[in-house]
Structure 1
Amino acid sequence: MKEEQHDKNTDPKKLPDAENPYRLLDLKLTKVKNSAAGVPAVIAAFSDLIEEKTVLRGTKALFKMNQVGGFDCPSCAWPDPDDERSPLGEYCENGAKALAEEATTKKVTADFFKENSVYDLAKLNDYQIGKMGRLTEPMYLPKNGRHYQPISWDDAFKKIAKHLNALESPDQAAFYTSGRTSNETSFLYQLFAKEFGTNNMPDCSNMCHETSGSALRPTIGIGKGTVTLDDFYDTDVIVIIGQNPGTNAPRMMSALSRGKKNGAKIIAINPLPEAGLMGFRNPQEINGVLRSGVKLADLYLPVKINGDMALLKALEIILLQFENKNPGKVFDYDFIKEKTTGYEAFLKQFDAYNLDDLAQLSGVSKEAIYEAAEIIAFKKRIIVCWGMGLTQQPNGVEMIREILNILLLKGSIGKPGAGVCPVRGHSNVQGNRTMMIDEKPTDEQLDRLQAFYGFNPPRSHGYDVVRAIKAMQEEKVKLLFCMGGNFLSATPDTTYVASSLRKLNLTVCVSTKLNRTHLIHGQEALILPTLSRSDLDIVNGEIQFVTTENSMGVVQSSKGMLKPISDNLINETQIVCKMAMATLGSKSVINWQKYHDSYDAVRDDIEKCIPGFENYNLRVREKAGFYLPNAARHGQFITKKFGDRAPFTLTSVPNNELAPDEYMMATMRTHDQFNTTIYGLDDRYRGIKNERRVIFMNQKDIEKAGFKVGDKVDLFNYDDNIERIAPLFIIVSYQIPEKNTVTYFPETNVLVSVNNVVKDSNMPASKYVKIKIKKHDSDIYKRINQL
């Protein structure tokens, strides 16, 4: 694109819009699907390779992705099989799309930035911005500048060091991390931040599964899942709640299908009847190609948004009824006596609950809840999986503990085929936390670092994402360094976040591709281009590999194999080391040059600082890597407060009352999207083609409000007595509970108040947003400009 000449563009004080452009495309509604994957998924995967002009290069890489000796998928964190892997490919449609984005031959060069101003680039939507290609060299935007300009790597690190060393306190800097970052980089990144003097380490966990860790760590002693992939193959019941595997973790459907063939029953709980919960057409099997595939869910429960707690309580009441009729056959009293605490108080609470009221609050019929209870009642091998449909609810921590209550009643945790499975959204988000990317490091972690390195790391807690945003707004943070990710588009309350970012002295983004955070920036800004997961990484003449941790605690190697798109890219590990050497200089007690020159050296020292990584370099070179210790997986619950017992937790049912003109909104991804990366403009399974600005509503709600399908509307939120506006959306009728609506993010992140957070985890509660819907007013943009 070329720069457009107009008054706004020539005014250096005019700021680019933080939002996607308020314009519609050309919505076409297609048939809603009742199964996921199949041949259409294969075609879609390869169409992206064609679009990115990387058919031969990308196809070659696809057959190395998630294979032994290959590289880890840059998309979701679903684990690879420990044994043999499919020779046809261990990837899904979205993994192939993620690879196409990395393996593209399109380039974003210095000439591109010379021709296109920041203002004009911001007029593009996120899909267009992401499709420009791979970044090829470091770029710098000076104060009041309108165009990024090339800068040498040395000068970039000098500039970062100058800004960091000019801060009045190390706590005026914040270091953000995305889930794509490897274990080696994550360890060095947090090490640098701590030696610099701060625990301000907001990361993507603060927006996806912080709630899971906050719920599980105090109750079972570990903030991770307790099952392995093999458990899915040999279990009796799999419950999937608040998660859409067909879009967010498509390879999970293979495990569900295998478990189903081995006799498992599957219960799906979600406001929308997602295709990936209903059926699976495995493109590697004849049945998936020529026939209808495998029906996955035996029972679908259409719960209201945030009606999950009422549903879980109702389920417990019915299980209690079954137990009273069949003493000792529903509850596991030996397990309860030996492994838990608080059982009697837990049971007493149900004197105050009414089953009919709970069913009504949940939105699920009492008959359907009975059917779910019958599936669970006399089974012990039960796995419960969840995603952000739970973790981004204001009471998400309590809901996960209520799930744990059910498993404790059944003795269904810490044994084969049973346990909890929070399905992580990004390929190494769990590994980041294991590597101490955490604003709240424990004293034990800090003591180990101090003993090994000889410096005294800061002990006070730092900022998570929400607190970092507020600290930027209050000018307590002056510099934001982003190790990957798209901070602006991932966070809530977009207008507020944009205002916060613009108050910074410097923003630094380590990235592979252009994104909106590069366009909404501090007074000065740097873009540092880095290698992708699939890129060949050579240090001192030797091919390097990195390591990651998947959703089930397996640490494995990942070795890229594609020739990098540019000779001027630096891997993330070396970026951290160069920043550390430029900033700390002779003051540092750490040999950053050693780490710069060898990933093995990094791993040698990780094993001395983090439990479970003994013989790291040796074990990670084994065929399938190695499992990290997980006492809860083996029925050992080691907690600070309750010793070796897992507590039953007393929780409450929320009041989700809405005003007559209010609706509950949840944000979600399209099938053509991974986190903030937009692969395309379709949502194939939900019947949406060539549009993202849609709002899904129940047909009865549409008619009651005097709307009709296809109407253009504006969306409003009034939390904190502030008017937030997301203009110009199209109404689409969908099978969803009454008074509930769903929209795509990041287009409606602007409606999510920065103060609308999950209790205890402080995550944005993006699945629980009260909105009002009004007919589209063309004058709405004047009001938006005044906000």
Structure 2
Amino acid sequence: MSDDQPKTDDRVFSYDGPVGGWGSAKGMAQVARAAKPGPGALETLRGQNKAGGMMCASCAWGKPPNPHVVEFCENGAKATLWDLTSERCGPDFFLDHTVAELATWSEYDLEMAGRLTHPLRYDASSDRYLETTWDEAFAEIGQGLRALDPKTVTFYASGKAGLEASFLYGLYARAYGHVNLPDSSNMCHETTSVGLKTVVGSPVGTCVLEDFDHCDMILQIGQNPGTNSPRLLHPLQQAAKRGCCIVAINPLREKGLLEFANPQSPWQMTVGAPTEIADRYLQVRAGGDIAALTGIAKHVLALERSRGGVLDHDFLNRHAHGLQDWMDWVDATDWTELEQVSGLTRAAMEGIGAIYARSRAVIGVYGMGLTQHVHGSDAIGALVNLLLLRGNIGRKGAGCSPVRGHSNVQGQRTVGITEKPDLVPNDRLRALFDMQPPMEEGWNTTTFVEALLEGRATGFVGLGGNLARAVPDTDRVADAWRSMPLTVHVATRLNRTHLMPGQASWILPCLVRAEQDMQGGVNQQVSVEDSFSHIHGSIGNRTPASPHLLSETEIIARMADATLDPNPKMPWRHWAGDHARIRALIEAVYPDDFRDFETRMNQPGGFYRDNAARNRVWKTESGRAQFTRPADLDATGLGAQKGVYRLMTLRSNDQFNTTVYGMSDRLRGIEGDRMLVMMSPDDMAAAGLAAEQRITLTSAAEDGIARRVQGLRVIPYDIPRGCLAGYFPELNPLSPLSRGDLASDTPASKGIPVRLA
């Protein structure tokens, strides 16, 4: 295992610094020391998220047309430095280590083995991955896929691959004979795709980056920018400075919502005070957002009745549906119930309602704290209900703004990575490619895992990601994963899922976004879509980590070529030789979204795909923006159960999804191992627990399946009573696959029912 693993003393301390500042610089330096990036990493960072440079491979926050001198954050820098490590994980490494041995390593140590350099095949007799050739790999994979029923094979996408590779991947799946195309969105913002589309007709956010310059109130709900999207702190800081009221609604008091020191400000990096971010901070109970938002809206309605002039009646009359039915329900909902479910006082909710009632333009920013619940779609509906009251959708400086995690997860859905046939222009696919795309709905992540556990899944192709580690019920999944006849992983580094080989298993190493992809003497560009529906060109300039690496686009094309019968309208290898040819295909299939794709993708700030809801065109069942009544005020659906806690899984500061860069969670004041649980001091006292005591959590889900995680140290933390928090993915074994958003199947990872053993 790596000698570079950070030495920690498993301590908890009070972190008094702001987000950003010298703490951020130190965090980047620590990762740089561990990753040992190759020459040119700083040059890549200087051009990151700028026209003519590389688009960040971390989160999907927008790229401004007039970028800062440094247009990357601590997270983005860590991702780039991690990708450009000088460490290598080649064939000799695998000769020295069996898969069984590697399975005992930590996530961090597996990552620290370095960049994969050669195509590999699993050899069961030696329990090792052995070097192979690309020709052998593609021939064997193609033969293996042809032997399987396509309806039992899954093509997963992690959310990082560019639009070009993603388009080919979706086309490959359909030509092969299935639409089992889950992606990382299924585990986070699929609730947005379903819930937001139901109420405003758009599956994505309605804001653009410029709106943050014109709002006078921001509701920041269930999202921690300090850890998950630090570049969001720039517009939040600017909004706070000009007097915009920022209201944080989140169970944990997170540093990123409290104060920020801009690393690009010499004044704040030396003598200046950090900027205070949130004017109000509501520590809602896990799953209490529906009740909190309803309480705020209840007071807005009361103010309208008492003094008038609060609601936007013109907007409501022209654009809203279901208002009276919803108001009747709000009137019938008692304040006592709203307080009990939200964990907030009536006065706190009324205070936010009063601010909202006098605010001209309001943005609702939200993350997975809102979406990852059994009634997550209803929670999005509750936010939209509040915004609609004053016409805060389809207006400058106002709207819904979900914060996407992976850098191109939204774009992958745009170009066809979806299990839902009705989201793809199948008529154009038939005409352009002489194919018959499957028309039955495929598997999303949850239905794939269900099929896996039931023995119905026979093949898995993963375009990035660490899916077996990221899903709920990970212990059960690990036991079943090896039963598949074929598993294929397109990857840059070794991870836990690779160590669960199927009967035939392959690792295909690919370029990272920062590296050159030379085809025909031309360095190929890729493109991505950000959270604001803007499309950006991206080009890498670093020398590849190994001469044996291929681009994701070429790997997909060669797999398709080896799997499918010849079709003159699908010249896979020809397409892979020039990404501009693939962009021409994307424009032909999606002409409205990608008009003049090639000429517009490199303009500063990218080009906008447009959004009907932003234009107040409502593609809903009623043809209007929809007020909705939730099925339950409690988004967790748990109610009050004696001895049952609501567990939320979180990232640390040294983490991007399942990638762990180190053992520091600086912004929460936690160092050391990741096997811990944060708990209210009052709850600890009531349970007779001492700080740092080791405990076991067990599942309280009523599905007859035993789940437990042992050896968790208890950390006293400022968190509402009855709620617990711990790290993803270590606590995923406690998350039942059967508990997800009722409309989207998104796992309910922010309201996992557990007990103290």
TM-score norm. by structure 2 comes to: 0.97
Query: Do structure 1's residue 446 and structure 2's residue 426 form an aligned pair?
Result: yes
- Paired residue for 1:695, among 669, 672, 677? 677
Secondary structure at 2:281 match in 1: strand
Partner residue, 2:79: 98
Partner residue, 1:785: none
Partner residue, 1:69: 52
Q: After alignment, is 280-289 or 252-261 more displaced?
A: 280-289
How many residues in Structure 1 have an aligned counterpart in Structure 2? 747
Matches within 5 A, 1:117-136: 117-136=98-117
CA contact (8 A) 2:212 2:397 kept: yes
Matches within 5 A, 1:384-423: 384-423=364-403
State the 1:56 CA deviation: 4.3
The verdict on how the C-alpha distance between 1:394 and 1:601 changes in structure 2, with shifts beyond 3 A counting, is same
CA contact (8 A) 1:234 1:262 kept: no
CA contact (8 A) 2:488 2:506 kept: yes
Matches within 5 A, 1:47-196: 47-54=30-37, 56-82=39-65, 84-87=66-69, 89-167=70-148, 169-196=149-176
Letter in 2 for 1:126: E
State the 1:25 CA deviation: 7.1
- Paired residue for 1:731, among 714, 717, 721? 714
Matches within 5 A, 1:15-414: 26-33=9-16, 35-54=18-37, 56-82=39-65, 84-87=66-69, 89-167=70-148, 169-290=149-270, 291-327=272-308, 329-414=309-394
> 1:444-473: CA deviations, max 9, x gaps?
621221122221100000000010011122
CA contact (8 A) 1:665 1:770 kept: yes
In 2, distance between residues paired with 1:330 and 1:518?
56
CA contact (8 A) 1:220 1:646 kept: yes
Gaps of 5+ in 1: 3-23, 775-787
- Paired residue for 2:698, among 707, 716, 720? 716
CA contact (8 A) 2:98 2:126 kept: no
State the 1:621 CA deviation: 3.0
State the 1:378 CA deviation: 1.6
Matches within 5 A, 1:464-479: 464-479=444-459
> 1:8-37: CA deviations, max 9, x gaps?
xxxxxxxxxxxxxxxx97411121346311
In 1, distance between residues paired with 2:640 and 2:325?
32
> 1:31-69: CA deviations, max 9, x gaps?
134631111101221332232222643222211211210
Letter in 2 for 1:76: C
CA contact (8 A) 1:281 1:289 kept: yes
Letter in 1 for 2:276: K
- Paired residue for 1:624, among 582, 605, 613? 605
CA contact (8 A) 2:63 2:606 kept: no
CA contact (8 A) 2:12 2:671 kept: yes
Query: Do structure 1's residue 646 and structure 2's residue 625 form an aligned pair?
Result: yes
> 1:588-624: CA deviations, max 9, x gaps?
6412122111100000111010131011111113233
Letter in 2 for 1:518: H
Secondary structure at 1:141 match in 2: strand
Q: After alignment, is 212-221 or 671-680 more displaced?
A: 212-221
The verdict on how the C-alpha distance between 1:670 and 1:444 changes in structure 2, with shifts beyond 3 A counting, is closer
In 2, distance between residues paired with 1:657 and 1:25?
39
In 1, distance between residues paired with 2:553 and 2:13?
45
Letter in 1 for 2:49: N
In 2, distance between residues paired with 1:768 and 1:102?
33
State the 1:525 CA deviation: 1.1
Letter in 1 for 2:655: Q
CA contact (8 A) 1:234 1:264 kept: no
> 1:500-522: CA deviations, max 9, x gaps?
31110111110001100110221
CA contact (8 A) 1:455 1:589 kept: no
Letter in 2 for 1:316: A
- Paired residue for 2:407, among 405, 424, 427? 427
State the 1:497 CA deviation: 1.2
In 2, distance between residues paired with 1:25 and 1:725?
26
Partner residue, 1:612: 593
Secondary structure at 1:28 match in 2: coil
In 2, distance between residues paired with 1:718 and 1:278?
34
Letter in 2 for 1:746: P
The verdict on how the C-alpha distance between 1:511 and 1:444 changes in structure 2, with shifts beyond 3 A counting, is closer
In 1, distance between residues paired with 2:376 and 2:8?
35
Secondary structure at 1:200 match in 2: coil
CA contact (8 A) 2:561 2:572 kept: yes
In 2, distance between residues paired with 1:55 and 1:375?
51
In 2, distance between residues paired with 1:620 and 1:193?
26
In 1, distance between residues paired with 2:72 and 2:733?
33
In 1, distance between residues paired with 2:39 and 2:569?
47
State the 1:258 CA deviation: 1.1
> 1:671-727: CA deviations, max 9, x gaps?
110111001101001110122111000001111111111101111114211110111
CA contact (8 A) 2:37 2:82 kept: no
In 1, distance between residues paired with 2:311 and 2:617?
19
In 2, distance between residues paired with 1:588 and 1:173?
25
Partner residue, 1:529: 509
CA contact (8 A) 1:49 1:55 kept: no
Partner residue, 2:750: 767
Query: Do structure 1's residue 665 and structure 2's residue 647 form an aligned pair?
Result: yes
The verdict on how the C-alpha distance between 1:387 and 1:702 changes in structure 2, with shifts beyond 3 A counting, is same
> 1:56-104: CA deviations, max 9, x gaps?
432222112112100011100001112x2122x1101111110111110
Matches within 5 A, 1:579-598: 579-587=559-567, 589-598=569-578
CA contact (8 A) 1:502 1:520 kept: yes
Alignment root-mean-square deviation, CA: 1.5
CA contact (8 A) 1:164 1:583 kept: yes
Gaps of 5+ in 2: none
Matches within 5 A, 1:744-763: 744-763=727-746
TM-score norm. by structure 1 comes to: 0.93
Letter in 1 for 2:225: P
